[in-house]
Each structure stands twice: as structure tokens, then as C-alpha cells.
Amino acid sequence: MQLDDTAVLISIDVQQGFDLRPSGPRNNPDMEAHALALLAAWRAARRSVVVVRHDSIQPGSPLTPGTPGNALKRGFEPQPGEPLITKHVNSAFIGTDLETRLRAAGVRQVVLFGIATDMCVSTTARMAANLGFDLVVVGDACHTWSQHTPDGALLDGETIHRVHLTTLNSEFGRVVRTAQVIQALSPSAQAGAGHTAP
């Protein structure tokens, strides 16, 4: 794969409260390891990162501001100069200045990862594509959980994860693996990197 020289990496809702989620088992236990490797390589290439955090307004949510669950997981906090976008709904573009920041910085491509594949990652990804951004989703740096279907059957998290990545790849952008992005960040592939964060 090739990365645009304006590409911005967006980390979505990698928060401690999701470890407290009263739901079925999650898929992709290696998600955090992949995401940390991705962040390290991206920052080493001096490319821009935006961190998104969900500040829930739902009563009793483990992501409520001021509670331990609202905090970002260790290693996923924004570094100096990296903006923190806080949101209250699934899409990081609703009720925030994310789009304004990206437009002002001349960003053409967004690279997304985070939690959960089928919820805030998918919603943000679809909106990004509809807004005209070139969309890349790092599939192995996302995860979700098993859930019950409307008729009461249990659908495993890996199936939900794969279905959402499949539709994103079919219609909205490209789904890639962490290793592909890191390879694209190699010194021979990163001419033009080093622009400032949006």
C-alpha cells in the first residue's frame, strides 16, 4: 500500500472502560499490541496523529467522564502536539471540530484504528469516506465483541468484525493490516512526511 503525504492516523476510543464492558467475549486479543506498534512506527516517521476519546452521556456507562473507565489505555494517550478530540456519539465527526482540523491541515487521507470495529470505528470510517477523505482502516488494530441478533441468536465477535471490515473494504475505502502500514512508513516510502498535526 501507499500512504498519502497528508495521511493522518486517528486512534478511536482505546479506553479502559471497554475492559469493563458487560458483553460477550471480544475478538482479536492482539489488537492493542498491533495498535501500539502502529502508533510507534507512525510517530517515528514524524507523521500526524489524532486521538479520539468517547465521553459518554449515557447513565452508568463505563466511559463516563470523571470515571476510571473514561481514561485512555496506557500507551494510547496523545503525545505533545497531538490533538485530543472528545465525542458523545459514534462518529468522531459529529459535534466535534475533527473535520475542520483535517480540512485546515489539507488532509486527504485518514487511517483509522480502535474500538469497536462495528460501532465507532465503522461509523467514523463511513462518514470519513462520505466526506471525501481517502479512507484506510487498519483491521487487525480493531476489535469488537460477540452480540445477540434481533432474534436472540449469539453472533461471535470475529464474525461481526470480519463482516464490518468486508463492507468497509467493498464500498468505503481499504482495509489493511498493521504490517502493511508499517512497511509503507519505511524510509524509502515516506518522502514528504513530517508535516504538523491538524
- Give the pLDDT of residue 21: 65
- Give the pLDDT of residue 77: 98
pTM (2 decimals)?
A: 0.93
Q: What is the Cα–Cα distance from 177 to 80, expressed in whole angstroms?
A: 27
Residue 3 located in a structural domain: no
The three cell numbers locating residue 59: 447513565
Q: What is the Cα–Cα distance from 139 to 145, expressed in whole angstroms?
A: 14
Could you list the residue range(s) of the whole structural domain that residue 84 is in? 8-189
- Give the pLDDT of residue 189: 53
Residue 55 located in a structural domain: yes
- Give the pLDDT of residue 193: 47
Residue 19 located in a structural domain: yes
Residue 196 located in a structural domain: no
Cβ count near 173 (within 10 Å)? 21
- For residue 172, the surrounding DSSP H or E stretch is none
In sequence order, what are the residues at sequence separation of 6 or more whose Cβ sits closer than 8 angstroms to the Cβ of residue 169?
137, 175
The three cell numbers locating residue 132: 471525501
Residue 2 located in a structural domain: no
Q: What is the Cα–Cα distance from 43 to 174, expressed in whole angstroms?
A: 22
Residue 194 located in a structural domain: no
- Domain of 82: which CATH number? 3.40.50.850
- Which H, E and C letters describe 91-119, residue by residue? CCCCCCCHHHHHHHCCCCEEEEEEECHHH
The total number of structural domains that make up the chain = 1
Nearest one of 157, 154, 194, 166 to 46, comparing CA atoms? 194
Residue 156 located in a structural domain: yes
Cα separations in angstroms, 46 against 5, 8, 101: 11, 11, 18
Residue 108 located in a structural domain: yes
- Give every residue of the chain whose pLDDT is below 50, as ranges: 192-194
Q: Grid coordinates 512526511 are at which residue?
A: 193
- Give the pLDDT of residue 23: 64
Annotated catalytic sites, by residue?
Answer: 13, 87, 120
